[in-house]
Chain A
Amino acid sequence: MSIALFVARRLGRGLVTILFAVTVTFLLLRLLPGDPALAVASPNTTDEAREALLVQYGLDRPLIVQYVLYLGQLLQGDLGTSFTQSVPVVDVLLERLPWTLLLTVTSLVLTVVIGIPLGVLAAAHEHRFLDRFVQVVGVTGQSLFVPSIGIVLLLVFGLALGWFPIGGATGDNVYGAAWYGSVVAHLVLPAVSLTLIQLGSYVLTMRGTLIDALAADHVTLARANGLPYRRILWKHALRNALLPATTLIGLQLGFVVGGAVLTETVFAYPGIGRGIYEAVTQLDFPVLQGAFLLLAVTVVVVNMLTDIAYGFLDPRVKAS
């Protein structure tokens, strides 16, 4: 399979996933009782007025026509108008997206940077104390409730010790170089909590694939040739184990975004997740639906990019 065909297939799959997300959202909005369009009408609305509302929102048309109209709106970047702020949902969300991206990407980088050495350490000491320790920490990390980690970090490092700010993304009235410092200071606690929730499964996967890779024939051959163990571990085995771990990052992304929603809520971080929390309290359905669609598209795009990167990294994809 040529690399062009591989890329084309991944792009196609990404588009199908996005269409699936859109269709699910459309059906949910039309079939569940809390229909945002009908919510505008009060019990006192006259029949004629109700009829006019239905026509205005296109709800008198057959479902399939509504679906096509909905797709058309989305293609034009129209996600509706926020109930509470009376501004286009797209504007509300795009203003928040950079913060969510900053938070998620930072935590992904931290996960990989901390996770690889820990996984290697555990695999190299298989069944010994260090390995057990990493496993216990990994399993416990997987069982933590995201807001719990956030609250503990907030109470200890934010309130008790006062090392980091306890909420928001930037300080007030900070400009120039100090602004960047303030952004980093505000990012530390949310990014650490988001890292802690994904680190466990990343380390455990890393350990598992590395142990498999260490049992491979080419590693045995390298050992027989008398290569130093350190070199075998880091060069010969790790490179093969890295690929499945990369895929895991892509697969976990949906979970991580969910974690970001909870983390941003704890730290009042002005990303899409905090926006979702605020929209929930105000029952702002257009924002909720827009946030889901935007996050879904982001996850699909990042997933597609990691897949394509995988294709370039792994010579077997090109060869097969």
Chain B
Amino acid sequence: MTAPLPTPELTQDAVDPAPDRSGTRPGRATWRAFRKLPLGVASLVVLALLVVVTVAAPLLAPYPASFGPDVLRPPGAAYPFGTDSLGRDVMSQIVWGTQQSVLVAVAASAIAIVAGTLVAVLGAYVPRVDAVVSMVVDLTLSLPVLPLMILVAALAGPSTTTIILVVAAFSWPEVTRLVRSQALSVVKLPYVDAARLMTRRHAWIIGRHIVPAVTPVIVVSVVVTASRAVLSAAGLAFLGLGDPTTWSWGRILYEAQTSGAMGSAWWLTLFPSLAILLLVLSATLVSISYDDARKPRGHGR
């Protein structure tokens, strides 16, 4: 986990009013600009491929066996990614690990995004709530999160649900931080005041005017949060707190380390490491490209 991913730069001109259904849609223009960025498109393709692997895992490789006759074989024709110290096929582990890692990332970031956005938008709309929200966010973000996740995961017992909830529970403050700063500037805009004059239904104002205006930030934080979730989950699994009943990229590394085969069998650590790097790097590049595509002027990167 660790290194913070880039914070999308948001300027006042990024604040779009509510989408105009009759005129040009900002989403379409962004997509047209995005298509011209080769790195962004390539990364999107990689992400799509990983999703395909996730869905088609049962077709691509048999479920990793509990042991096999060929122990610690280097990559070759029979075993493209080699075998581990119990003779299990590393490629099956990677394929099924993709499923687990993507599942955890999607579930954890979905929870974190919904909770984080809700809290941020409510805070921006109701100043009294905002004081509490911003304090909790600041406090949580200044604590060492991984040791806290470790404590919670150890207390709750390792399972996929635990991992998802733990990662989500400590990811929403980052989402709130990103969305909140944008929502605060939107709330001050005249069209929100106008909406307040029209109706007293606050839920409608929030849903119709504020959430659409912060959608770009939400899109960026989906990607950032998901890739962080992958790193956090892999970190927990590497420390032995992963779900012992399913394969994940972190668990392959953990087993390589505990079995003592890490020093002699480079393929045990190379392939899961590459898988993690591929997913996180392409997610990061997609968010950077999306940010670039949204900025009409200048090609600032």
**A, B in one complex:** yes
Among B83-91, B191-199, B273-281, the one that faces the other chain is B273-281
Residue of B whose beta carbon sits closest to that of A33: B156
Which range contains the number of B residues in contact with the other chain? 35 or more
User: What 0/1 pattern do residues 1 to 14 of B give for CB contact below 8 A with A?
Assistant: 11111100000000
Q: B281: nearest residue on chain A (CB-CB)?
A: A143
- Best-surrounded residue of A155, A251, A283 (most CB of chain B within 10 A): A155
* Interface: B23 (CB within 8 A): no
The reply on A32 being an interface residue by CB < 8 A is: yes
Q: Are B2 and A198 interface neighbours, CB within 8 A?
A: yes
Interchain CB contact under 8 A, B288 and A139:
yes
Whether the pair A261, B277 counts as a contact (CB closer than 8 A) is no
8 Å CB contacts to A: which residues of B241-270?
241, 253, 257, 262-263, 266, 269
B111 interface contact, C-beta 8 A: no
Q: Is A20 an interface residue (CB 8 A)?
A: yes
Interchain CB contact under 8 A, A280 and B240: yes
Minimum distance in angstroms from B4 CB to a CB of chain A? 5
The yes or no answer to A79 lying at the interface (CB within 8 A) is: no
Stretch at the interface among B56-64, B69-77, B102-110, B146-154: B146-154
Q: Are B148 and A292 in contact (CB under 8 A)?
A: yes
> In the bound complex, what is the Cα–Cα distance between A147 and B285 (angstroms)?
22
Contacting residues, chain A, for B154 (C-beta < 8 A): 34, 279-280, 283, 285, 288
B284 sits at the interface (CB 8 A): yes
Check: A148 CB closer than 8 A to any chain B CB: yes
Q: Are A20 and B139 in contact (CB under 8 A)?
A: yes
Query: Is A33's CB under 8 angstroms from B155's CB?
Result: yes
Q: Which residues in window 119-138 of A have CB below 8 A to B?
A: 135
Contact B148 A34 (CB under 8 A): no
Assuming the contacts A33-B155, A151-B273, A200-B3, asked whether A262 and B144 have C-beta atoms less than 8 A apart, the reply is: no
Docked CA distance A156–B2 (Å): 23
A155 lies within 8 A of B239 (CB): no
Chain B residues with CB under 8 Å of A141's CB are: 3
Name the contact of A201 in the complex, choosing from B4, B147, B240, B277 (C-beta under 8 A). Answer: B4
| Distance of B187 from chain A, by nearest CB (Å) | 25
Complex: how many Å from CA A310 to CA B143? 20
Judging by beta carbons under 8 Å apart, are A299 and B144 in contact? yes
Q: Are the C-beta atoms of B239 and A265 separated by less than 8 Å? A: yes
- The chain B residue with its CB closest to the CB of A138 is B6
**Which segment, of B30-38, B92-100, B122-130, B230-238, faces chain A?**
B230-238
With A198-B2, A198-B3, A258-B2 known to touch, is A17 a contact of B142 (CB < 8 Å)?
A: yes
| Bound-complex Cα distance A24 to B143 (A) | 11
Distance to closest chain B CB from A249 (angstroms): 12
Contact A147 B253, beta carbon cutoff 8 Å: yes
A140: B residues at CB distance < 8 A: 277, 281
Q: How far is the CB of B86 from chain A (nearest CB, A)?
A: 19
| Shortest distance from the beta carbon of B173 to any chain A beta carbon, whole Å | 11
A246 within 8 A of B: no
Given A34-B155, A201-B6, A280-B154, CB of A145 within 8 Å of CB of B277? yes
25 contacts between A and B (CB under 8 A): A24-B148, A32-B155, A33-B157, A34-B156, A135-B301, A139-B285, A140-B281, A144-B280, A147-B238, A148-B253, A148-B276, A151-B273, A152-B269, A200-B3, A252-B3, A254-B145, A258-B146, A261-B146, A262-B235, A265-B238, A265-B239, A280-B240, A280-B241, A292-B148, A296-B144
**Beyond the given A28-B155, A33-B156, could you list 17 further A-B residue pairs with CB under 8 A, ordered by the A residue number?**
A20-B143, A28-B152, A139-B281, A140-B277, A143-B284, A144-B3, A145-B276, A201-B4, A255-B144, A266-B257, A279-B154, A288-B147, A292-B151, A295-B144, A295-B147, A299-B143, A300-B142
Which are the 5 A-B pairs with shortest beta-carbon distances?
A258-B146, A148-B273, A259-B2, A34-B155, A32-B155
Which residue numbers of B lie inside 8 Å of A, CB to CB? Answer: 1-6, 139, 141-148, 150-152, 154-157, 227, 231, 234-235, 238-241, 253, 257, 262-263, 266, 269, 273, 276-277, 280-281, 284-285, 288, 301
A contact residues vs B (CB 8 Å cutoff): 16-17, 20-21, 24-25, 28-29, 32-35, 135, 139-148, 151-152, 154-155, 159, 166, 197-198, 200-201, 204, 251-259, 261-262, 265-266, 276-277, 279-281, 283, 285, 288-289, 291-292, 295-296, 299-300, 303
